[in-house]
Chain A
Amino acid sequence: MSETEQPQPAANTPAPAAKPAGKPALSHGKRQQLRRKFLRTVLLTGGVLGAALSGFLPIVYARQQRLRPPGALDEQDFLASCIKCGQCVQVCPVEAIKLADLVDGFGVGVPHIDAREQACDFSCDAVQCILACPTGSLTYQKPPFFPPRAGAPLAAKPILLAKQNDPESTLNLTERMGVARLTRPELCLAIKGKGFKGQARGAGFTGKLRYTEVDRWKPIAVADHPYDVAECDLCVRACPIKGAISIETVYAPDGSQRNSPVVREPCVGCGVCEMICPTEAASIEIVPREVWRT
């Protein structure tokens, strides 16, 4: 990649001490010119490679894992196979999928979901992002040589509540994106036994959700759909998957009894509960890539 054309024996030393016999000697000026060209070449190579490899940093530091769109391969395979075209972004009716920026290193241009801002509510009815993916980064069924992690596969195809009366009521999804966890039980209104009245996330919240009773086909802004419930169960009401979450009576270690949201095995990790949760911060959150533990 350096001066192979020039009559000099070694590519890495622009001005070697010994010159092969028979070749004309280079003038001082010419040699200096070549040395500078060589240095520039090294500089450009180093600069570009340095920039390219800096993409490792965010991965080495392994910051918080991103929630990936439905059907994503395991993280390493996902990053390897994603061609960063954003076709999954384009088909999503609620624009839940975002492309990562430079801070994600090799993940730049790779899709992820910020569930608190806009969760995947399966308004598309058919996980269209998987259909759109040209490289198989998002896939209905993993090929056999990518064995699923234990607990990642769903016991059965999830039933989408919005189409539970249709002939085909399930989503074509075999693995979960993550699992919902009650990460801040001390904030949870259901546990406190409190009700909720008003807009779940305030007037300024732009997230959308499909309310089947309002419009089966068109998601509307969460802010346009205020709630008034005696005991908060918004996560259960909003959940698009049948049997994934319910409010149950649980017993604390001291024997006292209270209500609490309980996540069940059908949970696919879509993040709707995290988005709708009216407490600040959310009491319930998705743990991305989490598997079902019994």
Chain B
Amino acid sequence: MSAILRKRFFEQILVMFGREPKKPAQISEAAKQIHLLKRASNKEKLKHAEAHMSASHKWRHRRWTVLVLVNLLFVVSYAFDIQILEGALTASRFIGFHLIDLNSALQVMLAHKHIITNLLIGTGTVLVLWMLFGGRSFCSWVCPYHLLAEWAEKVHLWLVKRKLVVDQNISRWTRTAFWLIFALLAFATGFTVYESISPTGIVSRALIYGPGLALLWVLALLVFEVFFVRRAWCRYACPIGLTYGVVGIFTPLRIKYTLDGCFHEGNCRKVCLVPHVLDTVIKGRAVETEVPIGPDCTRCGLCVDVCPTGSLTFDVKGLSRLL
């Protein structure tokens, strides 16, 4: 990793915690050269590229399929007693192997202050799993609330387009604050306070064990997201997202940005759940010719689907060198 990219790597961690992305102080010579040449590029070429791109939802289809299948596996494992994936998203057993959600495990460890072996094994397994598969990919590929929120977002954007509601943003530091507050509350009160409002746990249990009143809280969140703040929970509140984001710092699976073909039209930033990770696609911001996207990225692939030039792709660090 070059010194410039290493600097960006650490900056992206800060951006995940809530800092707004800044203009880069230093850009590599190769990237500067491309930025300079880009001045000649024009709208005609973009139109041409957009006309020729195959508007596909390839990654969205794949992701929704995985998300539905994983949650369905939980449901059928209990409903038909086939015992493949027992439990709920907070903790489960996959053909006997313990899997424990990192944030739930953290809440229990802080509240209970006593850790048994099974808890440790399950947490370790999940940690390794998401280190391999990209940290916050848990959010977009597994979390059932994410899918509901994605649909709520569609309604919200439809209303915004018709000027019926105004999108209102919130400080992104809030999520980091929530993470700390909930960790402290668990430790101080001895209750897993966050678990009682976690929409991920509530929706997962509702799917498996049947609906309950707790879904009203989830409904309230969705209504808030439709009429007030786009993707409020996932963007500004969810401590689970931040926990997996931290795991994502160390993962080889990420989205890679290639500066060369990019038109900087910004389609990717419009669909992104976490557009601050895509600051690098803004004209003149890319510090290298190829830039890996930061740890807060959920690897949902929406940007890959909308990119007219293939400048954003899924990438496994080191794999291209191996092949």
Contacts and interface: CB of A to CB of B under 8 A. Distances in A.
A188 to B, nearest CB: 35
B58 interface: no
B209 A134 contact: no
B132 interface: no
Contact of A1 (B176, B185, B229): B176
Interface residues of B, number: 62
B182 interface: yes
B64 interface: no
Query: What bracket does the count of chain A residues touching chain B fall in?
Result: 35 or more
A48 to B, nearest CB: 6
Given A87-B87, A109-B195, A51 B170 contact: no
Contact of A83 (B90, B114, B197): B90
A135 interface: yes
B197 A51 contact: yes
A13 B183 CA distance: 27
B227 to A, nearest CB: 13
A81 B114 contact: yes
B236 A44 contact: yes
Contacts of A84: 88, 90-91, 104, 192, 195, 201, 205
Interface in B156-180: 168-171, 173-174, 176-178
A69 interface: no
B208 interface: yes
B91 A135 contact: yes
A91 B93 CA distance: 12
Contacts of B236: 41, 44
A26 interface: no
Interface stretch (A96-104, A117-125, A157-165): A96-104
A140 to B, nearest CB: 12
Interface string A128-150: 00001011100000010100000
Contacts of A3: 171
A92 B171 CA distance: 46
A89 interface: yes
A44 B235 CA distance: 12
B209 A86 contact: yes
Interface stretch (B115-123, B135-143, B295-303): B115-123
A89 B78 CA distance: 9
Contacts of B31: none
A135 to B, nearest CB: 5
A3 B213 CA distance: 36
Contacts of A211: none
Nearest to A73: B112
A8 B191 CA distance: 37
A135 B118 contact: yes
A108 B196 contact: yes
Contacts of A51: 197, 217
Given A84-B195, A103-B213, A135 B112 contact: yes
A2 interface: yes
5 contacts: A44-B232, A48-B178, A83-B108, A91-B86, A105-B196
